[in-house]
Structure formats: C-alpha cells, structure tokens
Amino acid sequence: MRIVIAGGHGQIALRLERLLAAAGHEPAGLIRTPEQADDLRAAGAEPVLLDLESASLEMVAAVLQGADAAVFAAGAGPGSSVERKDTVDRAAAVLLADAAERAGVRRHVVVSSMGADAGHQGDEVFDAYLRAKGEADDYVRSRKTLDWTILRPGILTNDAGTGLVRLEASTGRGPIPRDDVAAVIAELLETPATAGLTLELISGSTPVSVAVKAVAGN
C-alpha cells in the first residue's frame, strides 16, 4: 500500500514509517521544511514538502492521488499557541479528510487524543487542544465516503515499546509508548474492519495484532 502520513516528521510518524517500509509498504510523509527530508528517507519514507497550514485542497488532493490510505499524525506540538491548535490540530485534519475524499482515498486513520471533545470546557491551551481534536474527530466521523478509524492514545512516552496494549472504546487513562502507538496504527491500516471505530489505547497485556483483531468489526 501507498500510505500518505500528515505530520511525517513527528515522533509517532517516523516510527510508523519505519514499520510500514519494513513491511513492504510505500510510506510518504508530509513535511514542512526540506531539512526534515533526510530523516524520512532514513526511515524508508518518501518526503513530500507540503505545509497543511497554507496548502490548498487541490494541492493536498494531488499528493493523495493514487494512495491507498491516509494517516493524520500532525500536531501543533507542546508550547504552541491556541491559534495553532486550531490551524493544525483541527483545520489541517479537516483539510486532509476533505483532500482524501477528493482523491478517492477511503481508508483514513486519525491519531487523536484521549479526552478529545468539541464541547470540552476551559481556557487553558490544553483545553483548546482537546476542543480542536474533538472538532476534527467529529468532522472526520461525519464523512460518509471515508473508512475512518480514530485512535486516541493515552499519555505518550518514549519508553521502548512492549507490543502489549489495551485497545478498546474506553480504556481509562494510562501511559503508552510511541513505539506501540505506531505499531497499532500499522496494524489498523492492515485491518479495514476497524473502520468506523473510535478507540482508546494504553499499555496493557494483549499483543498488538490480537488487540486489533479483537475490536475489528465491532
């Protein structure tokens, strides 16, 4: 499969690109600056220079043309402003979904956040982030031509992955290594029967492939 990943230089995306390339897929990562290209090539991915904060729908759809799946793994990141929570975490996710529809790419996986909710209350930057992610998730879920899966990891860590997770509609809070998040995304892409699901993810006791198969078709 050719899989286009928004936020291609992110910590989860680089891990995912390595896994996809090792499995024989063709990952392509959207990046904001040329300096990030070598890291993607080292991960086995094709770097595509495209800034989702300034790109048009037609530009993004052109990049998605001929792809088998799209993954939204972009984020404004820690320390970013409320404004960028909106332009990246919400608007860029909406743009990628619209572009996938335009290009006829049905399979669509979104890396969201536990607690994402368009109606979340509060005035802090993190509150704005949870609202932005929630609004983006709601928008993606409303697209009838997308086979979407929304993945909401718990507290992200850089610990080595264990390959053991808990993946359910509701898990409760907990940590999850980025290694294991990437492994779950890769498995979701291979499992089209997970379309239409919003899933929470934390560390657990079930192997990734077993956990994904257990929720497929539910």
Residue 113 C-beta-side C-alpha neighbours within 13 Å: 26
Whether 139 is a known active-site residue: answer no
At residue 196, the pLDDT reads 96
Mean pLDDT, range 182-187, rounded to an integer: 98
Least trusted range by pLDDT, from 29-43, 81-95, 131-145, 171-185: 81-95
Name the DSSP class of 193: G
Going by C-alpha positions, the residue among 3, 25, 103, 31 that lies closest to residue 60 is 103
Look up residue 185 and give its amino acid: I
Half-sphere exposure of 61 (CA within 13 A, CB side): 9
pLDDT of residue 87: 85
Pinpoint the alpha helices (H) of 32-177. 37-42, 57-64, 82-84, 93-103, 125-141
| The pair of three-digit structure tokens given for residue 58, joined into one six-digit string | 């037609």
CA 210 to chain centre: 20
Query: pLDDT tens across 33-87, in order?
Result: 999 999 999 999 999 999 999 999 999 999 999 999 999 999 877 777 778 788 8
Q: Give the per-residue pLDDT at 77.
A: 75
What's residue 199's pLDDT?
98
Query: In Å, what is the CA distance from 196 to each residue of 18, 33, 53, 102?
Result: 26, 33, 27, 19
The answer to whether 208 and 166 have CB atoms below 8 angstroms apart is no
Share of the chain above pLDDT 70, in %: 100
From the list 7, 69, 108, 129, the catalytic residue is 129
Can you tell me the distance from the alpha carbon of 207 to that of 25, in angstroms, rounded to the nearest whole number?
A: 22
User: Hey, what are 192's tokens?
Assistant: 């089209």
- pLDDT given for residue 194 in this prediction: 97
Length of the chain: 218
CA–CA distance, 104 with 7 (Å, rounded to integer) = 21
Hunting for tokens 């291609």 — which residue is that? Answer: 8
pLDDT score of 27: 98
Q: Minimum mean pLDDT among 75-89, 118-132, 169-183, 201-215: which range?
A: 75-89
In angstroms, what CA-CA distances link 194 with 74, 152, 212?
21, 14, 8
